[in-house]
Structure 1
Amino acid sequence: MSTKFRKFNFKKLNFPRKKDDAQQTNTAKKQISPERQKRIDFLNKYSLLFHLLLSCGLVFVIEWISRRSLVSACGFVGGHTLAYFYNAFLVFASLTLVYLFRRRAFFRLIISSVWFLLGVTNGVILSNRVTPFAFTDFKMVSDLLAMTNTHYFTITQAILVVAGLGLFVLFLVVFFIKGPKYQGKIHYIVAPVSVLIILFAGVPTITTAAQKTHVVASYFSNIAQGYENYGFVYSFSSSVIDRGMKKPHNYNKETIDAIEDKVNSQKQTTSIADNEKPNVICILLESFCDPSEIKFLHTNKDPIPTFHKLEKEYTSGYLTVPVVGAGTANTEFEVLSGMSIKYFGTGEYPYKTILKDTDCESVAADLTKIGYSTHAVHNNGGNFYSRVNAFSKMGFNSFTSKELMNIQSYTPNGSWATDDILVNETIKTLDSTPNQPDFTYTITVSSHGDYPKDPVIANPEFKVSGTSNEAQTNQYTYYVNQLHQVDNFIADLTAELSKRNEKTIVVMFGDHLPTMGLQDSDMKSGDIYKTKYITWNNFGLPKQDADLKAYQLLANTTNTLGIHEGTILNYHQTQMNSSDYEKGLENLQYDLLYGKRFAYNGKDLYPATNIVMGIDDVTVSNAKKSIDGSQVIIEGKNFTKWSRVYINGTKVDTDFSSDKLLTISSSGIKPGDKIVVNQLGSSNTIFRSSNEYKYSGK
C-alpha cells in the first residue's frame, strides 16, 4: 500500500459544510429528537471506527451461522485470527461505498444485509450438504426450483423464503423513506477517489500479502476445508472472482506440441476389431458409500451383497472424487471428460459455466470416432445441472431423462424415482443400435439425500447400530435400505446383460459420500473424498485392481479394452506415471477449453451433437370424445407424466392416465385442430414431440 494512502486523512470523507449546508442541517435537526441527533452525530464523527466494529461483528455472526456452532466460530477467531481480521477487512472495504451517498444508513444496511444473507444461505446449504455456498450456486437456482415439493426443497420452504424476502424489501422501502440522511457535505472528488483506492488498490494489495504469508490460500484442494480455515467472506468472494481456469504460466504452442509429441511417441493404436468392440456401460451411483467403510456404523446384515461380490471378482478400487455430500456434476465431469476440477475456480461447475457455450471432448466423443453410439440415461430431470446442454457439448447421441420415462415408483420419502426403471431404460439403448457397439452412461438417483431424521420405513429389513443419536440412527437406517435397492438394481442389470450375446463391460462408481457430516477419521480409507468403483464384464477380463482419480477412471477402462483414442484419454494412458503429469494435464485442459486448441491444430474436432431426447418415439394414434362429451381421450404410445397436449401449438391442461392414454377437456378443441404431445422438462423445455394428429371431433 502506498505511503500517500496510509497518510490519507479519512476525516475528509466528512468534508466541512458551507453556510447553506449548515442551514439545511439545522432545519433537518429540528425534525429529530436531540437524543437521536446526538447519536447520529456521534456515528458520523466516528463512522470508520463504527464500520470496523460492525465488520468484525458481522464476520463473527456469519461464521457462527455458517458453522452452526458458537464454539466453532470462536475457534475460528482464535485459531485463524489473521484470517478473521482479513475477512473483516473485506467487509469494511465494502462498507466504504456508503460514503458515496447521502443516505448512508440505508446503504450501510443494504451492504450489511447482503453479507448477512449470504452467510445465512451458506448455513442453510451446509445443513443439507457438505459443499459450502459458492457464486456458481446462483447458476443452480433453476435446478433448485425444479426440486420443489421434495423433502430436499419443499414448496412451503420456498413460500417462506419469498415471504421473508418480500417483508425485508418492504422494510427497506420504508427505511429509505423514513431513515436519516447525512446532512454534511459530500466531497465529490475525495470520497470517490478514497473508495476507489481502498477497493482497487487496498483490497488487492492486502489480499496478495495475505496469500503470500499463508493467512489465506489462493487454491482450495478441499473447498469445505477452505471455507473452514479461511472464512466464508473471503472464500465466497474468491468464488466470485476466481472463475474458469487461469492460463498456465508456460502455456503456448510449443508446450502443447511437446506434450502431444510425448504422448504420440508412447501411445498404442486401438487394437480391437470392429466386431469385437464391447458395449461400455458406465454407471454413476448417487451418494453411494460402502457402509462397511464407515468405522462406527454396523448393520444387522450386508445391505449390498451384489456390490461386494463384484468387488471381489472383478477389477475394483478406491476412487478419489472432487466433492463430498453434493456436486455430482463435478465428479461426472471428471469421469466423462478426463479433466480435473481442481484447475477451475472455487466451487465452479463447468456444466454451468464453460460448457454452456464451449464443446468439450469426452469419452463419448472419443468412442463415437470409432463407431460407437453414445447414450445417457437418468431418472431425474433433463435440465438439472444443465445436463441436456452439457451432454450435447460432450458428444452424446441421445439422452433419456425422467421426462421420457414412465416412472411409477418413488423412494419412501417421496423425493426421487427408484432406480429399478433404469434397468430397462439402459437395455433400450443397446437394443436401439443392433449393428453398433454402445457407450451408455447411466445415473442413479434413489440413494440421494435428504435422509429423514424421523423413521419413514416400517419394519426396515436393514437395521443399524453405532450411531450417536436417534436422528442419526433413522438417517442411516433409511440410507442403508436405499443402498440395498441400488444393489438390487446392480444385480438386475448385470443379470439382464449376462443374457445378451454381446460383449459388455460395466463400470460403476460412487460420485461422493452422502451428506451425513462424515469426517476423514470416520472412514477406513482415511479420506472423505474417496468412494469406490467396481466393474463387471462377460468376456473374461482379468482382475486388475487399482486406486484411481475420477478423471482417470475411463482412461484406465478403455486402456484395458485396447482402445486408445482421444486427446485426454491417451494422455492419461501414457503419462500417469510421468513426473510432470499434473502440469501437462493442466496445460492440455486449458488448451482444449480456454486456449487456442493447439492440440487440435486450431480446429474444432469434437463439435456438439444434435442430441435426441429419449429412445422411443412418442406417437398419437387416435383422439376421441369421452362418453359424456366433457373430455377428449388421446390414445398413443410412450406417454409419461411429463406429457403435455398442445392444440394448434398451445399447451392445454393434460391428465396422464397411462403410457397409452391422456385426457384433456373438450371445451378447448374443435374439429380440424392439430394435436401434438410434447414431453416437457423444467421451464417448459420441449424435449421430444409426437407426430401431428388432426382431430375429427368424433
Structure 2
Amino acid sequence: MFAAAISLVGLAATVYLVLREAKAIRAQSGTVAKGAFAWSVAFGLFQLFLTVWGAIGLVAQNEPLAFVMLILTNAILTGCAWASIARDRIAPRVFAFAGPNAPAPTGKLARLRGAFVGKPLVAAVLCLLLAGVFALLGMEVSSNHDFTWVYPLCILLEWAIITTLMVGLFFLFQRHGAAPAVLAFALFVLGIAEFFVITFKSMPIQPGDLSAISTAAAVAGTGYTFSISLFCVLSMGFTAIAMLLCEYAGLVAPHRQKGAANAKRMLLTNLLVAVLCLGGVTAHVTLIDYYNTLGITVYTWRPLESYWREGYLPAFISAAQSIKPPKPADYSVDDAKATLKKYAKTYDKSDAAKSDERAAAKEQFDSEKPTVIAIMNETFSDLSIYQNMRAGYEGPQYFKSLSNCLSRGKLYVSAYGGGTANTEFEFMTGNSMANLGSGVYPYTIYNMETTGNLAEQFKSLGYSTTAMHPNHATNWNRENVYKDFGFDQFLSINDFQGADTLRGMVTDQATYDKILELLDQNADPQFIFDVTMQNHSGYDTGLLPVDKQMHLNIDTTDLDAKTVEDGTLSDVDEYVSCIEQSDQALRYFLNALS
C-alpha cells in the first residue's frame, strides 16, 4: 500500500503548493490565469490516479528501487503542477517573456534570458524539441525500458517523428501548447496499452490490432488484472515533463500581433508551418519504404524483439506499410486461374485420378455424403510435452487415448498469444499467414467475398453449412466474414442464452449439444464449424468451481523462484483445469455421436 501512501502525500503537497502560489498571485495581481490552474489540475489528476490504483493494489511495489521511483515520479508531478501555477513568475526569468508578474531576472538566469530576447519562437521550438524527448520516453519506458537494446538511429527517427508532429500541432492551433501536450498524453496512453498487451499476450500492438479493437474490448474484462509496473509510473513522470514543456512553449510564443494585416499574416504563417510539418510526416511515412530503404524489419516470429530494438513507431510504420502483401512480378488473376485449370487437367489425365481406389472413394462419398464437423477448440494444447510440467502432468487423457483416428498429429498455428481468427482463416481458406506478414488479421482487413473456402466448397456439394461461436458475432468481424464465406447460418452468443458456462464462458459441451441438436433437426449432409470459447485467457479468474480444479505440484528445482513460488502457479492450474473440462466434453460428444 505504500504506493498509494506516497502518491497521496504527493497529491497533498501538490494541492498545498498550488493553493499557496494561487494565494500569493491573488495578493499581488488579484487574478489567477484559468489556464495555469487547469494545467496544475491535470498533473494532480495523475497523482490521484496513482493513489487510487495503488490503494486497490494495482501498482507493482516489489520491483527494485520501487520506493525511489515512486517518490521521484510524484516529485516530478508536484513540481510540474507548481511550475504551471507559477508560470508567470518562472517563464520571465528564463525566457524573453513579460508576464503580469515578471520580476527582473538576475545572475545566470539573466544571461540565459538574454539569449532569447527577441526570439520567442526559438524558445518555444526549443521547448518542443525537449518535449519530444520526454514524450518519447513517456511512450517507450512503460514496456521498453532497456534502451541498450534500441538502435540509436531508430530512436532518433522516432524522436524526429514525434517532435515534428508536436511542432505541427503547435502551429496548427496557433501556437497554443495544449495540442502537442494532448499528443504527449496520447503517446503515454499508447505506451500503457502496449505494456498491457505485452503482459497479456507477449506481443506488441500491431497495425492489424487497430481493426480488432472491438474484439479486444469484448474479451478484455474477463480474467485480466490491469496492474501497472513502476516503469509505467515513471513514464507518467516523463509525460508530465513533456506536457509542461508544451505549456511553456505556448506561453512564451506570441499568439497574436497588433493590426488586422499582422494578425492575418501570423495566421497564414502558422498554418503554412503546420502543413509543412504534418504533411512532411505524412509524406515520410507513406512514401519512404521503411523495410527496403531504412532497413526497419518486423520479424514475423519475433515481432516484440523488433519493436524493442527499433522503437515502437518505426516498427509499427514498417509493419503498416507491409500490411498489403506485395504483388509478385507479372502476376495476374487470369493467369492464376489458368494455371489452376492446367494442373486440374493434368491430374484428371493421371493414373492417380483413374485408379480403382479413387473411383471407390468417389462412389462412397457420393452415396454417403457424411456430415463434417470441424471443432476449433479455444487454446487447447497438451502441456505434458514440457517435461510433464515437472509435476507428473499427463495432459488430456481421453484426447490422447483416441486410437481409431484417420489421422492425427501435432498442429502448429500462426496465432500466438491472440489472433484466433488467423487460425480460422488458414483452416477455412487454405491460405498461409506466412504470405501476409506479422500483425495482419485478414478477417478484419480484407474483403472475403471472393476468397475460396470450405463453406463454399461444401455448399457446392449440396451441404447445408453452419458456423458457431458462443460469443459476440462482431468479434473478429465474423458476422460479415461468415456471410462472405457463404455459411447458411451463424450461431453466436444470442443463440446460447441460458447455456452452461465455465468461468463466465459458454462451455465446450454446450456447443456440442447445439451440434447434436442440428443433427437431430436435419438428416441431410452438413458442414458445421464450431469455434469454442470456454478456455479463453486469462487464467487468473478464480472462477473455477472447487470440484473442477486441478493443482499441479511443480518441482521447482533449478527454476526461477520469482516465476514459481511454493511449487504452484495459479494460472497454470486454472489452464490445465480448463483443458481437463474440454477433454471430458470431447468424451461426452464422441460418445453421443457413437
Q: Specify which of 76, 88, 98 is matched with residue 159 of structure 2.
A: 88
Q: Secondary structure at the match of 1:361?
A: coil
- Give 1:242 deviation, angstroms: 4.6
Question: Aligned partner of 1:438: which letter?
Answer: Q
Partner of 2:297: 217
Question: Aligned partner of 2:519: which letter?
Answer: L
Partner of 2:280: 198
> 1: CA distance between counterparts of 2:321 and 2:499?
44
Q: In 2 relative to 1, CA 242–311 (structure 1 residues): closer, same or farther, beyond 3 Å?
A: farther
Q: Specify which of 469, 485, 506 is matched with residue 564 of structure 2.
A: 469
Q: In 2 relative to 1, CA 243–253 (structure 1 residues): closer, same or farther, beyond 3 Å?
A: closer
- Give 1:446 deviation, angstroms: 1.5
Partner of 1:441: 529
Partner of 1:114: 186
Q: 1:130 touches 1:224 (CA, 8 Å); kept in 2?
A: yes
Q: Secondary structure at the match of 2:142?
A: helix
Q: Specify which of 136, 142, 167 is matched with residue 65 of structure 1.
A: 142
> 1: CA distance between counterparts of 2:278 and 2:222?
46
Q: Deviations over 1:561-590 (max 9, x none)?
A: xxxxxxxxxxxxxxxxxxxxxxxxxxxxxx
Q: 1:136 touches 1:349 (CA, 8 Å); kept in 2?
A: yes
* Count of residue pairs brought into register by the alignment: 449
Q: 1:84 touches 1:230 (CA, 8 Å); kept in 2?
A: yes
> 1: CA distance between counterparts of 2:192 and 2:125?
26
Q: 2:253 aligned with 1:182, yes or no?
A: yes
Partner of 1:555: none
Question: Aligned partner of 1:402: which letter?
Answer: I
Q: Deviations over 1:120-174 (max 9, x none)?
A: 11112222223322344344343345447633489x99xxxxxxxxxx9xxx9xx
Q: Deviations over 1:519-541 (max 9, x none)?
A: xxxxxxxxxxxxxxxxxxxxxxx
- Give 1:194 deviation, angstroms: 4.0
Partner of 2:578: 482
Q: In 2 relative to 1, CA 489–33 (structure 1 residues): closer, same or farther, beyond 3 Å?
A: farther
> 2: CA distance between counterparts of 1:278 and 1:450?
37
Question: Aligned partner of 2:165: which letter?
Answer: S
Same amino acid, percent of matched pairs? 22
- Give 1:457 deviation, angstroms: 5.4
> 1: CA distance between counterparts of 2:175 and 2:122?
16
> 2: CA distance between counterparts of 1:102 and 1:246?
41
Q: Specify which of 361, 365, 384 is matched with residue 456 of structure 2.
A: 365
- Give 1:297 deviation, angstroms: 1.9
Q: 2:96 touches 2:252 (CA, 8 Å); kept in 1?
A: no
Between Structure 1 and Structure 2, which shows a larger proportion of strand residues?
Answer: 1
Partner of 2:466: 375
Question: Aligned partner of 2:162: which letter?
Answer: V
> 2: CA distance between counterparts of 1:486 and 1:30?
70
Partner of 1:130: 202
- Give 1:331 deviation, angstroms: 1.1
Q: Secondary structure at the match of 1:281?
A: strand
> 2: CA distance between counterparts of 1:121 and 1:322?
23
Provide TM-score, normalisation by structure 1.
Answer: 0.56
Question: Aligned partner of 1:335: which letter?
Answer: F
Q: In 2 relative to 1, CA 464–228 (structure 1 residues): closer, same or farther, beyond 3 Å?
A: farther
Q: Specify which of 18, 29, 33 is matched with residue 102 of structure 2.
A: 33
Question: Aligned partner of 1:473: which letter?
Answer: L
> 2: CA distance between counterparts of 1:331 and 1:490?
20
Q: 1:126 touches 1:132 (CA, 8 Å); kept in 2?
A: yes
Q: Deviations over 1:253-284 (max 9, x none)?
A: 56424532443244457835422322221111
Question: Aligned partner of 2:178: which letter?
Answer: F
Range with bigger deviation, 99-108 or 214-223: 214-223
Aligned Cα RMSD in Å?
4.1
Question: Aligned partner of 2:531: which letter?
Answer: I
> 2: CA distance between counterparts of 1:140 and 1:279?
33
Q: 2:550 touches 2:574 (CA, 8 Å); kept in 1?
A: no
Q: In 2 relative to 1, CA 51–240 (structure 1 residues): closer, same or farther, beyond 3 Å?
A: farther
> 2: CA distance between counterparts of 1:312 and 1:62?
54
Structure 2 residue runs of 5 or longer lacking an equivalent are: 1-94, 229-238, 256-265, 557-562
Q: 1:305 touches 1:487 (CA, 8 Å); kept in 2?
A: yes
Q: Deviations over 1:588-621 (max 9, x none)?
A: xxxxxxxxxxxxxxxxxxxxxxxxxxxxxxxxxx
> 2: CA distance between counterparts of 1:141 and 1:348?
13
- Give 1:491 deviation, angstroms: 1.4
Q: In 2 relative to 1, CA 189–249 (structure 1 residues): closer, same or farther, beyond 3 Å?
A: farther
> 2: CA distance between counterparts of 1:484 and 1:142?
30
> 1: CA distance between counterparts of 2:220 and 2:282?
41
- Give 1:332 deviation, angstroms: 0.9
Q: In 2 relative to 1, CA 95–397 (structure 1 residues): closer, same or farther, beyond 3 Å?
A: same
> 2: CA distance between counterparts of 1:378 and 1:48?
54
Q: Secondary structure at the match of 2:336?
A: helix
> 2: CA distance between counterparts of 1:448 and 1:454?
14
> 1: CA distance between counterparts of 2:398 and 2:379?
17
